[in-house]
A and B are shown apart, each in its own frame.
Chain A
């Protein structure tokens, strides 16, 4: 097994430019099980990013109200951060519901995004916050909206020579939020459904609601049709159902069923919308 351990971000991206088959390795909580299962093996090569932790684990609130998070910030760090707890409660709620204590200690926000699991707990919240990613390569840095980042199942628009270095999380206006993770048990579970939602207090604003969910299609999903339906005040059960069905395409798998995912997501969202 080949492992390259760069000392700085610059060294990392220069190396990646020449060695694009190297898989970025941060906390390793998604990659280690793949190694154990044999999906990855000693034939794969890794670039270990752990020396970059100091450089890339910042959590800074900018003057414009945006939150900048370094990609190597651990989930635990997100859970313990006061700014997040106070101003970004959806992120806080999502983070504390990831895996277990041990996993949260190691797993990083960048890893959670890069792994591109449709079940990732953090991503719906980041989508609701209209977040964008900073991707860094040898000579260039570019920014991409998170909603455009996911291409298809486990495929993203990250180039093999790029690293996710930061996440920009935009604040929400005053309003109501919902985070709900429905797993197979209370702890140590993967989502059967995970949903993050926001409805503005002043409904007449330009951007009055956002909905996003995980485990309901092949990529983490912003529920645009549902949002449109809500904006147009079409919120009867059948109207919401029809809108939602255009947003999602859930499957039957070892964790849950298509019907359950659809029905429960609909019920949870309806309850949230109707809540006075």
Chain B
């Protein structure tokens, strides 16, 4: 038992602290060229012609257009509608038109500045409201890419019969990932095999994209992720496009080609979090019981649909938050606008939904003259609650217990009452305390994991060490450490004997993408099972031997190295219908409770978070320091989303695409954060663990909004809560 208490240090700490880890931009190859993307200067239009001025034509300039694409001109995704390079239609400013490469980077700048483009401009819709109003028709008949629906009971009937009804519209903006390392790829050919090295979350997504776009077999493609400096979802889908660009250039040039996005380019043209417009009608019985809900979630997919369907899917599945309601209808719509395609971002559609429902419930409590806690107690999910898809949450749902602990330990009720007294007397400063409850479904939605069929395992090497085999990326979250820890515990051998194998898609098993809070949960379980299997095999081969090294030595001398690969098996009791959205949408749900204590000075209107309390149920905590680190980072990203980050689009163009003007909170802005893990064990996941990565993103915006409600008596229906906005609303209210 003592062993378990040992802190597992990050296995990547040494190489990163010493600057030894190689990021893609650290790699140089002989004869290497640099690649750049020729981007559309307009928001919407038709490309007629692109040509290079005479003086640049002969200077070894590599030039690629859609005509050079050997396979299908599209990036494989859930919906493969984004072209690799545009043929005629331009749907967003910055869309890739052509590619150029040369050994001299400054020369490329000159070429980019002097390219001759013949483009016909068309009027655009750069805001989702314009698209919904069909100001211009961009796609289909109504600018809607797709619709989804969840239905339970009879919402119409019970909304009519409810004692109290509330209707609100919530809006959330884009959010930029701002990973430390910008996007980058290197492509080169070697012995007839296309090699791609770069920063990414999902090496096999890149393989699929290359297969489809280049029309070559995956046996001739080797994708090798380099040390990845942060991602947050931003390196889930976009790297497929950049890898295709690097591949096309290297294939045409016959030389290695490196492509690294500058920060300004990265912020302006890569994927962002989906902006949302969420309309909610909630109906209550007199005592505060939520009886019916009609919700519409509209997400801005940007110019192409790409993977947005699954984001919308998660949005609507989280639209009711942590509340049980018998009569629900939730409609989801994906709308097209002339902005860069929206993509994956930590939370994947859930943060938008959670902000809306948690703000709304809190606002209603004051209308019903209840305190924010009582309305939640009546309505939150508890053991055996039925979610909107008909899924029974099971017995492991400890949300009521978590709420009680959080209220008691933070003295929420006392502080809430004290604040009211303070605010009635004080004219210089106001205080607020706000609560949010939230959850996050673990792993891919519905049948996603079944379809992914991940594979992972290990090799007992000739020298007795263990090499772990999986293709998920340690992008800073620490999954390599956790996998070693799981194997170490299962095999009962020291972690120093275990290492993570270098990923090469030609040899490493496909354990799926590094997304959806699934790595510890799904791949950790496969590693656990493979470790147990190895242990059994060795036990069988030398039943009377206790020492692992001796057992392993004996096995190797008799049979040689041993590789064990585990195939994912979906729990049989879980099923989901993709058409009706009924069934077990997620195997398990991680839960959270945030309480924000804030002060607002009435001269600058800046929100000062004095304390931030954070309670989580992530099942068994495998590595506490790493989990806490991820939570603190996630809370800061959530606070950034709520209070700081404001990506300014003007006519489809990002105006503040620099780290100077796109404001994220710094370490100096970090409030005191108290993190607490609830004791719980999940039925699914190694050692009873649940997912963690995205969960912390879901809580802060609503908790801060609800604290603001108490402090200022204002109900905000959108983020971010910039001081400029708070001041204007305050002035209007107190005129």
Contact = CB atoms under 8 A, between A and B. Distances in A.
A and B: bona fide binding partners: yes
Nearest to B643: A185
Interface in A158-196: 182, 184-190
B604 interface: yes
B724 A186 contact: no
B665 A255 contact: no
A42 B724 contact: no
Nearest to B662: A254
A33 B603 contact: no
B603 A271 contact: yes
Contacts of B501: none
Contacts of B656: 254
B401 interface: no
Contacts of B660: 33, 190
Contacts of B658: 37
A203 interface: no
Contacts of B731: 259, 263
Contacts of A35: none
Contacts of A260: 605, 723-724, 727-728
A82 interface: no
A89 B511 CA distance: 60
A264 interface: yes
B603 A184 contact: no
Contacts of A249: none
A263 B728 CA distance: 10
Interface in A216-269: 254-257, 259-260, 263-264, 267-268
A264 B606 CA distance: 11
A207 to B, nearest CB: 27
Given A185-B666, A188-B666, A256 B604 contact: no
Contacts of A259: 724, 727-728, 731
Interface string B720-735: 0001100110010000
B604 A182 contact: yes
A268 B665 CA distance: 24
A123 B624 CA distance: 48
B668 interface: yes
Contact of A268 (B603, B644, B661): B603
A263 B264 CA distance: 32
A248 B523 CA distance: 60
A255 B661 contact: yes
A185 B663 contact: yes
Contacts, number: 55
Contacts of A256: 724
Interface residues of B, number: 25
A268 B603 CA distance: 6
A271 B727 CA distance: 17
Contact of B669 (A42, A182, A187): A187
B378 to A, nearest CB: 39
Majority DSSP secondary structure for residues of A touching B: loop
Contacts of B4: none
B727 A263 contact: yes
Name B's interface SS.
loop
A187 B727 contact: no
Nearest to B664: A185
A185 B727 contact: no
A85 B605 CA distance: 30
Given A185-B669, A254-B661, A268 B604 contact: yes
Interface in A8-33: 33
Nearest to B605: A264
A182 B724 CA distance: 12
B36 to A, nearest CB: 14
Contact of A254 (B602, B644, B648): B648
A186 B668 contact: yes
Contacts of B604: 182, 264, 267-268
Query: By CB atoms of chain B within 10 A, which of A182, A189, A255, A260 has the most?
Result: A260
Contacts of A257: 724, 728
B655 interface: yes
A268 B656 CA distance: 28
Nearest to A259: B728
Contacts of A190: 660
Nearest to A255: B661
Nearest to B665: A185
A185 B644 contact: yes
Contacts of A33: 660
Given A42-B106, A185-B669, A190-B660, A264 B727 contact: yes
Given A260-B727, A263-B731, A185 B603 contact: no
B732 to A, nearest CB: 11
B112 to A, nearest CB: 11
A260 B644 CA distance: 16
A173 B700 CA distance: 48
Nearest to A41: B109
A37 B264 contact: yes
A103 B579 CA distance: 56
Contacts of A267: 602-604
Q: Which of B648, B660, B667: most chain A CB closer than 10 A? A: B660
Contacts of B665: 185
B663 A189 contact: yes
Nearest to A264: B604
A185 B656 CA distance: 16
Contacts of A188: 666, 668
B106 A185 contact: no
B666 A186 contact: yes
Contacts of A255: 661
Contacts of B724: 256-257, 259-260
Contacts of A187: 666-669
A190 B655 CA distance: 16
A255 B663 CA distance: 9
25 contacts: A37-B264, A42-B106, A185-B665, A185-B668, A185-B669, A186-B666, A187-B668, A187-B669, A254-B648, A254-B655, A254-B656, A257-B724, A257-B728, A259-B727, A259-B731, A260-B605, A260-B724, A263-B731, A264-B603, A264-B605, A264-B727, A267-B603, A268-B603, A268-B604, A271-B603
Interface of B: 106, 264, 602-606, 644, 648, 655-656, 658, 660-661, 663, 665-669, 723-724, 727-728, 731
Closest 6 CB pairs of A and B: A187-B668, A267-B603, A186-B668, A260-B724, A184-B663, A254-B656
